[in-house]
Structure 1
Amino acid sequence: MSAELQARVSRMSVYPIEEYDAYVSRSPKATPYHSSGWLQAAERAYHHTAWLVTVHRDGSLCGVLPLVEVKPPVGLKSLVSLPFCDLGGPLADDDDVRHLLVAEAKALAGTNKARLLEIREGGEALDEVQTDSASGKVRMLCPLPQTSEALFKSYKPKLRSQIRKAEKNGLRAEIRTDIEAVDPFYQVFAWNMRRLGSPVHSQAWFREMKLAFGDQMLVGLVFLEDQPVGAGIVLLAGNQACIPWASTLEQHNHLAPNMLLYWALLSHVCDQGCQVFDFGRSTMGEGTYRFKKQWGAKPYELVWTDWIADEGTHQAVNKIQKQTAGSRLRPLVERLWRRLPLALANWVGPKLRRYITL
């Protein structure tokens, strides 16, 4: 006779977080985003409520689903697993546990009057000629060898020459774990986000991330003399590394700071024993996809599912990550945003970004 499953919904702040992190650390489908540090940063930087759906069997934890409740001043409240990243869905010992986790999440959405429950998960490896994903959003994963020397030898001559070009151009890279490294990172990141016409995360978000992740968050910096011209953040968990944010200053891109930034981070985590590097989300065939592919990354499915409230129940809607034309207003908004003074963009941006869950 199988043991009875017991589900529980808790505020992250009251759940024994050591038990949660221990389960995540041994789950084969876990990502660095599943760490309690991501939830802690969302609460402390943006004051969103973090929830944990858990399932126990015979008193032992056998499944978890982290959620963040996002309630904008205007619009619909949502529960997301997880916001501000590509994935963070349920981790479970078996399908029965997984189904119970999702059922409890839908019940929580109903209790909290959330219009939307969104669960973001990773899927299987994709064949690049698959027509169904030809214009879709994919996750780019790269296996790593045992040493950075072996990694460098695996690259094509053109990529190796681009890395050397950056060094010959007088650029130097640093990998840091101190919280002061957030400041030069943010200097580059905020400038680049304004250039892209997109609201920027608050500096407090990255500082809280650093406090929560500690040495499991690396800050890569590329300098031209004493000026930071490239910056990226890598999160670590077990044998995995992921890079949710990376930026360079456009006026220095001819010096190839992006090549040195990625090489510095990749070589570092490779020598630290990481076996997989997650380059993040890209659109199949576009520029960022080709950039990541040259480092050895391969496309994997992103499976995002929405449950939308309908007369007291939540109906599932599968979100296929297709590239869409978007709002007609978006190009105009982006052009206007680029014209904002940097200080104003950095003040207004975080007030909007905290409610943008992508």
Structure 2
Amino acid sequence: MTLEVGILSKTIFETDAWISAISCSYNYTKYIVDNSVFLHVKSFIFGDRLISLPFSDYGKLTPNVYSEKFQLLIENTNVEYLEARIPDWKTETFKAFKEAGFAEAVVYRTFLLNIEESSKVLWNKLGKKIRNSIRYALKNRVELKRVESLEDLKQFYYNLYLIGARELGSPPHSFKLYENLRNFLGDKLLIDLALVDDKPIGAIVVLLGDKWANFWQNIALRKYRKFNASYLLLWNIIEELSDGNFKIFDFGRTRENTGIYFFKKKWGGDERKIYHMVYSPSKRVIPPDPHQRKYLLLSRLWRRLPLKVTNIIGSHLIGGIAL
């Protein structure tokens, strides 16, 4: 079946609820330029920027843009540059921002899986290795639980997410962010836990638009990866959304040729590009990227810190990185 991406291109990232949750969590100031929304990210370490949008696969952007207004915005806010995140199917917006002076800085990938068909048809289309991985998780008594209460959210955050973020060498989001996502998004936020003997070993966070679902986070504790919980978590969500009349499952922004890229690729989605574009008339700039040397060094250091320390200072760092 053909993906009608252009018709279904509005995602959760373009909603007021998402933008409000992010802004409130990290005290970002919102600026609107011809209906394109940018958030002001301030950081002594990583610099001041205007981004559409932090922690989002895509920005809230329109093709009605003019370079003079961007230049004026830079002068009024004293930021180093503007950053816009544009998927390849928004050709008109991409062209308009390029003509307004934005340049490509980084190209990410995503995979769009058509889930209009029944879950039974989708199951039969999965590769043999994926189906076997799902069966293996079930055979080894991996159980799934949806986060519903505040206590569930605390279990996800303190018993799983903080540990998983440190293992990856990444500063964690604040608990406040997840509270705000829960309050602003309501049932548009899905967090599912994988448990073995009642111990959380993995989780998935999915954000829901009207017919478009975004795979936003995956947590898999290194010690328990042999249980293949990520496969079961993903399939369970895809199965539910497919039978619930969703049309697209978006696997989310990923660097090409990384481990997570190949994990997402084998689910059979249509590979697409996401352009991180920057506007900086005075100098060439490169947005923060986990593959840059200074971030790799920071990541190695982060893995050695006590969990309590990562929780205290992590949200201040990640708010400034704003990837």
State TM-score, norm by structure 1. 0.77
2:207 is aligned, of 211, 231, 235, to 235
RMSD of equivalent CA atoms: 2.7
CA separation of 1:68 and 1:295: change in aligned 2, threshold 3 A: same
Q: Does 1:33 align with 2:20?
A: no
1:99 to partner: Cα distance: 2.4
- Equivalent residues of 1:189, 1:246 under 8 A apart: no
* CA distance, structure 1, for counterparts of residue 261 and residue 204 of structure 2: 17
Q: Does 1:223 align with 2:195?
A: yes
CA separation of 1:53 and 1:257: change in aligned 2, threshold 3 A: same
Counterpart secondary structure, 2:305: coil
1:76 is aligned, of 39, 43, 47, to 47
Partner of 1:348: 313
CA separation of 1:239 and 1:201: change in aligned 2, threshold 3 A: same
Q: Does 1:191 align with 2:163?
A: yes
1:324 to partner: Cα distance: 8.9
- Equivalent residues of 1:140, 1:278 under 8 A apart: yes
The 5-angstrom pairing of residues 1-358 of structure 1 reads: 28-54=8-34, 64-73=35-44, 76-91=47-62, 95=63, 98-100=64-66, 104-124=69-89, 137-186=108-157, 187-310=159-282, 326-327=292-293, 329-358=294-323
Deviations, residues 67-125 of structure 1 (Å, cap 9, x unaligned): 1111124553211000112221413xxx5xx224x654443232222221111110049
Whose RCO is larger (CA < 8 A, sep 6+)? 2
Q: Which amino acid aligns with 2:153?
A: V
* CA distance, structure 2, for counterparts of residue 119 and residue 136 of structure 1: 12
* CA distance, structure 2, for counterparts of residue 34 and residue 190 of structure 1: 27
Q: Which amino acid aligns with 1:210?
A: R
Q: How much identity, in percent, do the aligned residues show?
A: 27
Q: Unaligned regions of 5+ residues in structure 2, if any? A: 1-5, 91-105
Counterpart secondary structure, 1:182: helix
Q: Which is higher, the Rg of structure 1 or of structure 2?
A: 1
CA separation of 1:206 and 1:256: change in aligned 2, threshold 3 A: same
Q: Which amino acid aligns with 1:151?
A: L
* CA distance, structure 2, for counterparts of residue 75 and residue 287 of structure 1: 26
Counterpart secondary structure, 1:84: coil
* CA distance, structure 1, for counterparts of residue 267 and residue 8 of structure 2: 24
* CA distance, structure 1, for counterparts of residue 131 and residue 7 of structure 2: 35
1:66 to partner: Cα distance: 1.6
CA separation of 1:106 and 1:238: change in aligned 2, threshold 3 A: farther
Counterpart secondary structure, 1:283: coil
- Equivalent residues of 2:169, 2:300 under 8 A apart: yes
Q: Which amino acid aligns with 1:263?
A: W
- Equivalent residues of 1:138, 1:300 under 8 A apart: yes
* Structure (1 or 2) with the greater strand fraction: 1
* CA distance, structure 1, for counterparts of residue 146 and residue 218 of structure 2: 13
Q: Unaligned regions of 5+ residues in structure 1, if any? A: 1-25, 55-63, 126-134
Counterpart secondary structure, 2:38: strand
1:145 to partner: Cα distance: 3.0
State TM-score, norm by structure 2. 0.85
CA separation of 1:106 and 1:141: change in aligned 2, threshold 3 A: farther
* CA distance, structure 2, for counterparts of residue 73 and residue 27 of structure 1: 41
1:137 to partner: Cα distance: 2.5
* CA distance, structure 1, for counterparts of residue 166 and residue 290 of structure 2: 22
* CA distance, structure 2, for counterparts of residue 46 and residue 104 of structure 1: 25
1:349 to partner: Cα distance: 0.8
* CA distance, structure 1, for counterparts of residue 185 and residue 278 of structure 2: 29
